[in-house]
Amino acid sequence: MPIVTVLQGPRAVEQKRALVKDITDAFVDGYGIPAETVQVWILDTPTDSWGVAGTLTADR
> What dihedral angle (degrees, nearest 10) is formed by the CA atoms of 45, 46, 50, 56?
160
Query: What integer is the mean pLDDT of 23-29?
Result: 98
The pTM assigned to this predicted structure is 0.86
Phi-psi region of 59 (alpha: psi -120 to 50; beta: other; left: phi over 0): alpha
Question: Within 13 Å of residue 59, how many CA atoms lie on the same side as its CB?
Answer: 8
In the prediction, which pLDDT does 15 show? 98
In the prediction, which pLDDT does 3 show? 98
CA–CA separation, 10 and 24 (whole Å): 20
| Cβ-proximal residues to 28 (8 Å cutoff; 6+ apart), any chain | 34, 35, 38
